[in-house]
Structure 1
Amino acid sequence: MAHTCTPNKRVLILGASGGIGGEVARQLCNADWQVVALRRALDSQIEQREGITWVRGDAMNRQDVLNAARGCQVIVHAVNPPGYRHWGERVLPMVDNTIEAAIAECATIVLPGTIYNFGTDAFPLIAEDAPQNPHTRKGRIRVQMEQRLRDATALGARVIIVRTGDFFGPRAGNNWFSQGLITPGRPLKKVFKPEKAGTGHQWAFLPDVARTMVALLNRRETLEPFARFHMKGHWDEDGTQMTNAICRVARRYGLDPKISAFPWWQIFLLAPLIPTLRELREMRYLWNLPVCLNADHLERTLGAEPHTPWDVAVEATLIGMGCIAHSPIASVMAQNR
């Protein structure tokens, strides 16, 4: 029997236990979507928690993904292999499984994009159609992912890619903010600055990214089958605004952190022994040159990009990471989400 594509508000999220996947799941729940999430570690086949239907399964298993996606009009592909040891071997098979499910369900795939796809020939201001000539292994894999997604649109799938700067947020998971700038779970004493002096850098507050994705999904029928959008997010024009915002917020809590240069020499020394540090070393070029995403297309589409002010976003992030105590500002933000 032929599959019939019928509109609904049912979405499958792959990677819902991670930073971006979890935030998108919460935002979609708040927008009255039926949210299904795939997770390997479940005691039962199906669990209901906080408005999300959790289904036991593995994004590496095609049948698991096909089963979980049944009846879904949207699939959010926010899953990454844990760590970096098998990243190259698992990323493409997982996106292929998502593509097969999207074709079967006539679904729209949403992918959180990265700037790793681009090399220095696309800098400093990057448009959606800029050439993708990455410098790194991870970037080359991301280019392949996006090409496979583009090809899938000829077979009935639709794709929305939302590309941003470096994530930060109260539940953002592993990212440069938590791994490179501060130490989570401890009162702030030191803030590291990875940028070369005077170099601009782009950040993206995770709740703003999720709100942007939800807004685009609400317009998905009006978008191109392969739609790419760049977010402006929080543009740090000289590499000081993020560290200064962290220090401003910390001082309201009686803390006085010092700003120090990021110890790149330690990364280079230990990188041969630790996979995560090898990845950080590969990405240093993104801190030595200004890299800014051109968000004109997104602003024309939405009218205005969701944007949380610097200090409110940073305060919520530091609270979520256990570096400062709860505050009224974060409470107001949570109520408005």
Structure 2
Amino acid sequence: MCRPSVGWLLAKARAAPDRLPWASTACTARSSSQPGASALRSACAGCAGVPEAASAGDKATLPDPPGAPGSVAAPALAGSPVASVEAARGDVDDMRRIVARRAGCLFITEWSNRHSWPSIAPCESQQSIQIHPLLPPFTMSTHTDRALPTHRTADHALILGGTGAAGAAIASRLARSGVRVTLAGRGSAAPRLNAYPDLATLPWRQVDLRQPGALRQAARDCDVIVHAANPATYVDWPREVLPMMDAVLDAVAHPEVTVMLPGNVYALAPSPSPISEGAPARDGTENAANAKGRLRHTLEARLQAAAQAGQCRALVVRAGDFFGAHAPRGWIAQAMLPALNRPEWPSVPGAGVPPTVRRIWQPGAAGVGHQWNYLDDYAHTVALLLAERARLQRWEAFHTAGHWDADGQTLVARTADLLGQATVHRPRTQAFPWGAMRVVAPFHAMSREVLDMRWLWQQPVRLSNAKLRAFLQQDEPHTPWDEALRASLRIG
């Protein structure tokens, strides 16, 4: 039997045009282009259909309403936004309901994106509640021991930085899982979306985070905001990172909106053992030389404060260095194998043979482990967590294990081997020219920023995913090294 999501309505209620659309069966959902369709289909999975409901003007004979003699009363709501007539009237413009008919009764199956699911609390008394001025009041039951989730899974996600490496990967995974996705970013999306065929049909919003009004408009009906936007270069971090977060928080339309932030290890202290979410951040004087670490610590603290103050929900998923087919600003493409960004390099696997590569730069010291995260695995993990939003606290942080390069040489060695197989010439590996960067750093801002992060290649920083595995009750998504590297190098 399909259980009512909120409560039973009194019989013979008539639908208001454009407010209470009739449904033909108990499992009928509104168009998949509207938010909430996936949640409704899940809630009604397995229900048997009933004959198409009569029009709103028909006066069909319906069973006794809940609360009538011999009927079973529905559960009472605690903290519901419809606990009074005045609250319902004041909020009616923000409510959208899908009404289905089963066995001659109506029940509400969905609230609008701007409301959370009300939770059910045991109660010793009945109460009469009126949902809408056009509907008669109905009686809610006295007790239950089953609680509904406090909010739904992501029905509409806005991806800031939608054509960046992490943003595009997360958008692709969410779209494939049935979530309605809107991409947003600076400028035109056309040049970058050519690399993501599965994202080409998604709506695009040109949004500058320095203009909060535009972002508020784009985020007004979203359940999830993925803040994957970064400043254009490392040099812009001190000036832009925190104002960008402030703009995102300013755009949150409702306290139940989840702001998801891809995290990194910049603010963490090196450790010989895997680092848990509860490890202290490496800030203050201890990390005085690492400006980006201090910024990252402040960024996450600002998001955490907003979540704990009830402004939004927050989810941070930390990872090591990203690699993948479309990571043009990652360490591999920018520093270790710059040829990946050449026009002659295949844009997709199987599109051709990559040009001959003579050398791969090795930035890490021999024997020092380094954590990498394959973008597709990371995006899959984020999608799994967002699908379980009902179980998340208002502030949650998770660590991913990714691909651990125990001696710091595995990724470079396997990359050289795979390129050798594809081009018949195996490139040699060579130590990254840190000394030359120190020479030019006084005159070159980008070199100074890269040198600021060298400590990540001199000391191991490995994340523990124990909390993640316990929460998901499964292993973290993990693609084997060679398969992930082949996709990243775009070779068949």
Partner of 2:485: 314
Q: Shift in Å at residue 49 of structure 1?
A: 6.2
Query: Hey, what does 2:47 align to over in structure 1?
Result: none
Question: Please, which runs of 5 or more residues in structure 1 have no aligned partner?
Answer: 320-325, 328-337
Assess if the C-alpha contact under 8 Å between 2:155 and 2:223 holds in 1.
yes
Matched, 1:226 2:402: no
Are 2:304 and 1:133 equivalent residues in the alignment? no
Task: Look up the equivalent residue of 1:274 and give its one-letter code.
Answer: H
Aligned equivalents of 1:99, 1:270: Cα separation in 2: 38
Counterpart of 2:368 in structure 1 is 199
Q: CA deviation at 1:62?
A: 1.2
Change (3 A) 1:78 1:234: same
**Structure 1 range deviating more: 213-222 or 183-192:** 183-192
Gap runs ≥5 in structure 2: 1-89, 95-113, 117-151, 343-354
Separation in structure 1 between the aligned mates of residue 266 and residue 324 of structure 2, nearest angstrom: 20
Equivalent AA in structure 1 for residue 299 of structure 2: M
Aligned counterpart, 1:149: 303
Distance 2:164 2:445 in 1: 20
Following TM superposition, by how much is the alpha carbon of 1:96 offset from its aligned partner in structure 2, in angstroms?
1.2
Which of 30, 39, 59 is matched with 2:176 structurally?
30
CA distance in 1 between partners of 2:273 and 2:291 (Å): 21
**2:151 paired with 1:5:** no
CA distance in 2: counterparts of 1:284 and 1:49, whole angstroms: 35
For residues 48-87 of structure 1, the aligned pairs below 5 Å read 50-87=200-237
Tell me the CA shift for residue 86 of structure 1: 2.8
Q: Which residue of 1 aligns with 2:461?
A: 291
For residues 177-216 of structure 1, the aligned pairs below 5 Å read 177-183=332-338, 184=340, 185=342, 186-216=355-385
Letter in 2 for 1:307: H
The CA deviation at 1:251 is 2.2
Query: 2:404 is matched with which residue?
Result: 235
Checking the alignment, whether the CA contact within 8 Å between 1:103 and 1:155 is kept in structure 2 is no
Displacement of 1:274: 2.2
User: 1:52 is matched by which residue type in structure 2?
Assistant: L
**1:40: Cα distance to partner?**
3.5
Q: CA deviation at 1:137?
A: 0.9
Distance 1:124 1:137 in 2: 24
- Secondary structure (helix, strand or coil) at the match of 2:266 reads helix
Deviation at 1:243, TM superposition (A): 1.1
Output the amino acid matched with 2:157.
Answer: V
Q: Larger C-alpha radius of gyration, 1 or 2?
A: 2
Out of 16-25 and 246-255, give the one that drifted further: 246-255
Whether the 8 Å CA contact 2:255–2:313 is kept in 1: the answer is: no
Cα displacement string for residues 138-176 of structure 1 (whole angstroms, at most 9, x for unaligned residues):
111111111111111122411111101101111013111
> 1:286 Cα deviation (Å)?
0.9
SS of the residue aligned with 2:209?
coil
**SS across alignment from 2:479:** coil
Letter of the aligned partner of 1:218 in structure 2? A
Q: Indicate the larger mover: 87-96 or 2-11.
A: 2-11
1:312 deviation in Å?
A: 0.8
Q: Is residue 170 from structure 1 mapped to residue 325 from structure 2 by the alignment?
A: yes
Which residue identity is paired with 1:106?
A: E
Confirm or deny: 8 A CA contact 2:400 2:464 kept in the other structure: yes
Could you tell which deviates more after superposition, 103-112 or 137-146?
103-112
Structure 2 residue identity aligned to 1:262: F
| Larger strand proportion of the pair | 1
Local SS of the residue matching 2:245: helix
Q: Distance in 2 between matches of 1:43 and 1:91?
A: 22
Aligned residues of 2:210 and 2:244 also touching (Cα < 8 A) = yes
Query: Which is further off, 105-114 or 225-234?
Result: 105-114
Partner AA of 2:171 in structure 1: A
Is residue 247 from structure 1 mapped to residue 406 from structure 2 by the alignment? no
Question: Is this contact kept in 2: 1:236–1:242, CA < 8 A?
Answer: yes
- Provide the secondary structure at the position in 1 that maps to 2:302: helix
Partner AA of 1:161 in structure 2 = V
> Whose relative contact order is higher, 1 or 2, with alpha carbons under 8 Å and at least 6 apart?
1
Alpha-carbon distance between aligned partners in 2 of 1:94 and 1:123, rounded to the nearest angstrom:
34
1:73 maps to a residue whose letter is D
Return the alpha-carbon distance in structure 2 between the equivalents of residues 214 and 43 of structure 1: 23
- Verify the 8 A CA contact 2:160 2:167 in the aligned structure 1: yes
* CA distance, structure 1, for counterparts of residue 255 and residue 326 of structure 2: 30
Once the two structures are TM-superposed, the CA of residue 42 in structure 1 deviates from its matched residue by: 4.0
**Quick one: distance in 1 between partners of 2:412 and 2:185?**
36
Q: Distance in 2 between matches of 1:236 and 1:40?
A: 34
Number of residue pairs aligned between Structure 1 and Structure 2:
318
- SS of equivalent to 2:373: strand
1:40/1:292 CA distance change after superposition, 3 Å: closer
Counterpart CA distance in 2 for 1:192 and 1:227 is 37
**Cα distance 1:231–1:49, how it changes in 2: closer, same or farther (>3 A)?**
closer
Relative to structure 1, the CA distance from residue 43 to residue 131 in structure 2 (aligned partners, 3 Å threshold; closer, same or farther) is closer
The 3-state SS of whatever aligns with 1:252 is: helix
- TM-score of the two chains, using structure 1 as the length reference: 0.89
Contact 2:220 2:252 in 1 (8 A): no
Identity of aligned residues (%): 35
Summarize deviations over 1:289-318 as a string: whole Å, max 9, x none.
111111111111221111111011111111
Aligned to 2:447: 277
2:431 to 231, 254, 261: 261
Local SS of the residue matching 2:450:
helix
Equivalent-residue separation in structure 1 for 2:202 and 2:333 (angstroms): 27
